[in-house]
Amino acid sequence: METNTPPVQSPEDKAYLRKQLIKFFLFLGVSVGVSLWLMIDDIWPASKLIDLQAGWFNGEYYPKLTFAVVWIFVLLVFAAVFSVVDWVWRKITGKK
């Protein structure tokens, strides 16, 4: 009979997972911070979205909806930038 024991992780695996977790939370914190900064300082694309909502909804806008759209936009921009940087880095170093 087989037992479902988890595989033993080496210290290198644990260190790698810890680094990835730190990177994830750093990425999440920076993206949320940038999104909030764009909204609070009324910088494009948040300013354009707020103006559009004000026109559509009788002068009102919805901060949560604005944040969600701006955050998704920021995530897409970050993903594009990181992809290009990764591609360039791989071309420079010759790694696959």
- Which sequence spans correspond to the domains of the chain? 17-93
Residues 6 or more apart whose Cβ sits within 8 Å of residue 70:
35, 38, 39, 45, 46, 49
Confidence of residue 2 (pLDDT cuts 50, 70, 90): low
Would you say 54 and 70 are in contact if contact means Cβ atoms under 8 Å apart? no
For residue 24, the one-letter residue type is F
Residues 6 or more apart whose Cβ sits within 8 Å of residue 60:
53, 54
The more confident residue out of 6 and 74 is 74
Q: Average pLDDT, whole number, for the chain?
A: 91
**Per-residue pLDDT tens for 34-73?**
999 999 999 999 999 999 999 999 999 999 999 999 999 9
Longest dimension (CA), the chain: 68
pLDDT above 60 for 1 = no
